[in-house]
Amino acid sequence: MAVRMNVIRRAQDLPREELFMPGHGLCAGCTASTIVRHLLKIAGKNTIVVNATGCVEVSTTMYPYTSWKVPWIHVAFENAAAVASGVEAAIKSLKRKGIIDPNKEIKVIVLAGDGGTYDIGFQALSGMLERGHKIMYVLYDNEAYMNTGIQRSGSTPPHAWTTTTPIGRVMRGKPQPKKPIGEIVAAHRIPYVATTNVAHFIDMDNKFIKGLEAEGPSFIHVLQPCTAGWKFDPRLGIKLARLATQTAMWINWEIDHGEFRVTVRVPKRKHVKHYLKPQGRFKGLTDDEIEEIQKIVDTEVERINKMVGEEVIGPVVE
Amino acid sequence: MERVLQKVEQKRIALSSNYAVAYAVRDVDVDVVAAYPITPQTTVMEKISEMIANGEIDAELIHVESEHSALSAVVGASAAGARVFTATSSQGLELMHEILHIASGMRLPIVMAVPTRALSAPISIWNDYSDLMNTRDASWITLIASTAQEVYDAIVQAYMVAEDPRVLLPVMVAYDGFVMSHTYEPLEIPVDNKAIRDIVPRRDRVTLNIDKPVTMGTITDPRWYYEIKYQQVKAMEEARKVLNETSLKLSEVLGRRYEPVEPYRLDDAEIAVLTYGGLFGTVQEAIDVMREKGLHIGGIRLRQWRPFPVEELSHLLHNIDLIIVIDRAISYGASIQGPVALEVIPVANRMGVNVVSMIAGIGQRTVLEKDIMGMVIKALDYLDQGIFPLRSIYWGVRGGE
């Protein structure tokens, strides 16, 4: 295991320098900008960002303006991992030939949403992981195609409303479960995989550090509440992210060189209704359907606890 | 091709066109290669892999999981400042199609070899130019070579043109799949690749540089998009000049001079046969036979498909009455279904030259000298009658009209 050079213990440990500039067009209350701001603070300026098509891409680079103080490239929706593979290979080759300074460490980060990762970008991602490029892939997961107007993705949770999975008399939101992308990525046996949550930013930032220090590919999966797509009051983004963890709708874990660990323990769990009720996308679900979601979560909690070998996520108490 | 005084020491070797590509890629010193195997491109990548494994090429080879990722990876590598290469055919080129437009829109000097192949369905691994012709509007400079020698030379020239600051557009070098990609021909290459490296020096351009951060591939609204695309139009126009300059430069070093359209026995010709790729060799043979029979006929080889050599073609058509354009691709439902014929027509019209569009060699249906002569006789019938069909003629198809 690599020696960890830096650990963030509190907000004051974060660098003051801002590399992600304000003035972009992301929605008021969007938590993606919080994630990106932290990400660049951790990564620093010797970083190249490869952005898949998505909310962050379109909202931060309206020509001739940009929010990025690091080199940044967008090519298409489904190929960010392939583009980043090329960037990383170019750096390797040019360093070897002395065309760029071989002593300069240049970090390569992919930033992609759930559509660009779970679905259309999955093949390129798998290729990048299999080839072992030293790239940190950051997935900001808002659980639908928000940029095109809230269509269902492989990440959308069961029973969630989207414009393509309405809650009607016959169809009751998304019929399928959320694809376990983190574990699918981990099956590639890369050095570091983690799930994290914008409300637990210390957990998130330390995972960015670990991901960047990994000797090969790393994958950081961040839950990103979306005010427009989840239909909640823009003030509530961080609160909802925290509720996701408190209800175990979302579990913060890591697989560090094969070692699985839950990084944010939840001794007393809240019922999923506390997470679902403030969100318009779950409006109209019956109590039975909410209980159905609760059962899915209970099963997942049981599986995770078994994997860890102790009760890291406790019972529902409220 | 015209032979001029040779300046550097060269050796004569036998290579397939695919191997000729690999030798050129070696000699220009590429940094990153990404490719995915597809017939008939495979031996390009096999040879490059071998050269990298032996230390003859110092490059990162990315074994991507698709052609879409192959082009995406070289886009990333090129944006990061590397000299890059990829190659594909047929379905692979189709899978790349989305990124073709992005590569040119981002003004990245990528070079790609395309041993051409028919498109599915039905699946055919054999040659025609359907794949290449589908890339017509992708804003890639496109050269179509006719010999292994030219394939080598064109790859070198491709880097000279692509990386020129007046151009900065990607370049495709196409040639016949199988007929050229897998057959051996003698060619000359420099003994010392320093001669090549001197004519493709590394030049500064805007890249993903941590000391000078840039944002590449932004979103652009209606206030700017049109102007940015118009810059591509200008770059393609500039490319005409740079292609001619680099042809001259190449001839000074290697002793071989290429023109955008190349005449064959055209001086006193009244009839011309125009085609591209390896088929031009067959056309030349047929012209020799027809000349012996007293026909005033010559050939025109289209080497530069994009930018289309309007002026150069006009010059060649001065004394021509009839031009027969042989296409090996079909533009289904078009007014004239031969894609190159369609582009020759406006030039020929301006010069008062009659055009007959012939489709042949689809899915590598054999085209022999007698087929070329048959096409000429057919076209002469139209000339005699003074009525030219407003469609393409499908030569040798069973059940055709």
Q: Are strands B2-3 and B256-257 parallel, antiparallel or unpaired?
A: antiparallel
Q: Residue A1's CB: how many other CB atoms inside 10 A?
A: 9
Q: In the beta sheet, which residues pair with residue B113? A: B87, B173
B161 close to B296: Cβ distance less than 8 angstroms: no
Q: Which residues, at least 6 apart from A119, have a Cβ–Cβ distance to it below 8 Å?
A: A153, A154
Domain boundaries, chain A: 11-308
Predicted confidence band at B401 (pLDDT cuts at 50, 70, 90)?
confident
- The pLDDT, as a whole number, for residue B6 is 63
Average pLDDT, integer, range A71-86: 98
Domain span at residue B64 reads 2-257
Backbone φ/ψ region at A270: left (φ over 0), alpha (ψ -120 to 50), beta: beta
Q: Which phi and psi (to 5°) does residue A200 adopt?
A: -100, 70
The residues near A271 (Cβ < 8 Å, ≥ 6 apart) are A247, A294, A316, A318
Q: What is the mean pLDDT of residues A188-215?
A: 97
pLDDT tens track for B153-175:
999 999 999 999 999 999 999 99
Residue B358 included in any domain: yes
- Ramachandran assignment for B342, one of left (phi > 0), alpha (psi -120 to 50 degrees), beta (any other): alpha
Can you give the pLDDT at residue B3?
Answer: 72
Residue A58, Cβ density class (10 Å: 0-12 exposed, 13-18 middle, ≥19 buried) = middle
B236 & B87 share domain: yes
Indicate whether B191 pLDDT > 60. yes
How far is Cα A31 from Cα A39, in angstroms, rounded to an integer? 12
Burial class, B261, CB count within 10 angstroms (exposed 0-12 / middle 13-18 / buried 19+): buried
* Option in B60, B73, B218 nearest A61 (CB): B218
Give contacts of B208 with chain A, Cβ < 8 Å. 48, 71-73, 87
Residues of A with Cβ-Cβ distance to B220 under 8 angstroms: 62-63
Buried b (16+ CB within 10 A) or exposed e, A153-167: bbbbbbbbbbeebeb
- pLDDT value of position A3: 41
Is residue B173 a contact partner of residue B136, using CB atoms and an 8 Å limit?
no
Burial of B91 (0-12, 13-18, 19+ CB in 10 A): middle
Please tell me whether residue A114 adopts helix, strand or coil conformation: coil
Task: Judge whether A121 and A81 are in contact, CB under 8 Å.
Answer: yes
Q: Where a domain ends, among B197, B226, B257? A: B257
Residues B303 and B166 in one domain: no
Arithmetic mean of pLDDT, B69-86: 98
Residue of B nearest to A50 (CA): B76
Residues A19, A69 contacting (CB under 8 angstroms): yes
Q: Looking at beta carbons, which residues of chain B come within 8 Å of A44?
A: none
Question: What number is the average pLDDT over the span B41-66?
Answer: 98
- Secondary structure letter of residue A119 according to DSSP: I
pLDDT tens profile B294-322: 999 999 999 999 999 999 999 999 999 99
A11-308: CATH topology: Rossmann fold (3.40.50)
Domain co-membership, B360 together with B343: yes
- Give this prediction's pTM: 0.97
**Helix ranges restricted to H, chain A:** 32-43, 55-60, 80-96, 122-131, 181-186, 201-213, 227-230, 237-246, 273-276, 287-308
**Under a CB-based contact definition with an 8 Å cutoff, are residues A192 and A211 in contact?**
yes
| DSSP-derived secondary structure for B304-354 | EEES--HHHHHHHTTT-SEEEEEESS--TTSSS--HHHHHHHHHHHHTT-E
Secondary structure (DSSP) of A193-233 = EEEEETTSHHHHHHHHHHHHHSSS-EEEEEE---HHHHT--
ipTM surpasses 0.85: yes
- Number of continuous H segments (helices) and E segments (strands) in chain B: 13, 18
Across the range A263-270, mean pLDDT stands at 98
Is beta strand A218-223 parallel, antiparallel or unpaired with respect to A72-74?
Answer: unpaired
Contacts of residue B34, defined as CB under 8 A and 6 or more positions apart, other chains included, come to A85, A86, A89, B61, B62, B64, B69, B70, B71, B73, B74, B77, B84, B86
Nearest chain B Cα distance for residue A165, angstroms:
29
Cα maximum dimension of chain B: 70
Does the CB of A262 have a partner CB in chain B at under 8 Å?
Answer: no
Whether B145 is in a domain gets the answer yes
For B127, the token pair is 């040659």
Q: What is the DSSP string of A274-287?
A: HHHTT-GGGTT--H
The span from the CA of B220 to the CA of B215, in Å, is 12
User: Which residue from B minimizes the CA distance to A133?
Assistant: B62
- B146: which 2 tokens? 């006719």
**Any domain includes B400:** no
Task: Identify whether residues B204 and B69 lie together within a single domain.
Answer: yes
Residue with tokens 């983190």: A182
Angle between helices B67-79 and A80-96 (to 10 degrees): 50
As to burial, measured by CB atoms within 10 angstroms (0-12 exposed, 13-18 middle, 19+ buried), residue A271 is middle
Q: What is the rounded distance in angstroms from the CA atom of residue A183 to the CA atom of residue B97? A: 32
Statement: residue A5 has pLDDT above 60:
no
CATH of the domain at B204: 3.40.50.970
B141 with B25, same domain: the answer is: yes
How distant, in Å, are the alpha carbons of A3, A14, A207, A209, A211 from that of A6?
A: 9, 10, 11, 7, 12
Mean pLDDT over A11-24 rounds to: 95
Chain A touched by B334 (CB under 8 Å): no
Q: Tell me the nearest-neighbour CA distance from B65 into chain A, angstroms.
A: 6
Among A85, A96, A125, A128, the strongest candidate for a mutation testing the B interface, having the largest count of B CBs within 10 A, is A85
User: What's the pLDDT band for B7 if we cut at 50, 70, 90?
Assistant: confident
Mean pLDDT score, B233-238: 98
**How many angstroms separate the CA atoms of A275 and A269, rounded?**
11
| pLDDT, chain A, mean | 96
CA distance B50 to chain A (A): 18
Do the domain assignments include residue B401? Answer: no
pLDDT, tens digit, for every residue of A308-317? 999 999 999 9
Q: How far apart are CA B259 and CA B244, in angstroms?
A: 7
| Chain A neighbors of B69, CB-CB under 8 A | 79, 81-82, 85, 123-124, 127
Share of chain B above pLDDT 70, in %: 99
| Span A100-136, pLDDT tens digits | 999 999 999 999 999 999 999 999 999 999 999 999 9
Tell me how many domains chain B contains: 2
A158 in contact with chain B, both atoms CB, cutoff 8 A: no
Collect all residues of chain B within an 8 Å Cβ-Cβ radius of residue A58.
219
Q: B217 and B127: one domain?
A: yes
Does residue B248 sit in the same domain as residue B305? Answer: no
Percent of chain A with pLDDT strictly greater than 90: 97
Same domain, B26 and B168: yes
Q: Which two tokens stand for residue B272?
A: 């011309």
CATH number at residue B385: 3.40.50.920
Asked whether the CA dihedral B214, B215, B221, B225 is positive or negative, the reply is positive
CA atoms within 13 A on the CB side of A235: 0
In a domain, B278, yes or no: yes
- pLDDT-based confidence at A248, cuts 50/70/90? very high
Token pair 């929010």: residue: A67
For B132, the 3-state DSSP assignment is helix
Residues A27, A228 contacting (CB under 8 angstroms)? yes
* pLDDT tops 60 at residue B240: yes
Q: In chain A, positions 186-245, which contact chain B (CB-CB < 8 Å)?
A: none
**A92 interfaces chain B, CB cutoff of 8 Å:** yes
* A254 Cβ under 8 Å from any chain B Cβ: no
Put simply, the answer to whether B59 touches A99 (Cβ < 8 Å) is no
What's the whole-number mean pLDDT along residues B248-266? 97
Predicted pLDDT at A2: 40
CB contact set of A43 (below 8 Å; sequence gap of 6+): A19, A70, A107, A109, A208, A212
Check whether residue B382 and residue B309 sit in a common domain: yes
* B73/A contact by beta carbon, under 8 A: yes
| Nearest alpha carbon to residue B116 among B184, B39, B63, B36 | B39
Q: Does A97 touch chain B (CB under 8 A)?
A: yes
**Are B75 and A83 inside 8 Å of each other by CB?**
yes
The one-character DSSP state at B136 is T
| Same domain as B189, residue B137 | yes
Residues B389 and B246 in one domain: no
Domain match, B82 and B215 both: yes
A247 SS3 class: coil
DSSP B126: S
Q: What is the dihedral of CA A69, A74, A80, A84, to 10 degrees?
A: -50
How far apart (Å, rounded) are the C-alpha atoms in residues A85 and B34?
10
Of A46, A63, A76, the CB nearest to B220: A63
* pLDDT one-digit tens code per residue, A288-314: 999 999 999 999 999 999 999 999 999
Residue carrying structure tokens 């969630």: A160
- Domain C-terminal end among B217, B235, B257: B257
Q: Do B209 and A71 touch (CB under 8 A)?
A: yes
**Residue A70 DSSP class:** S
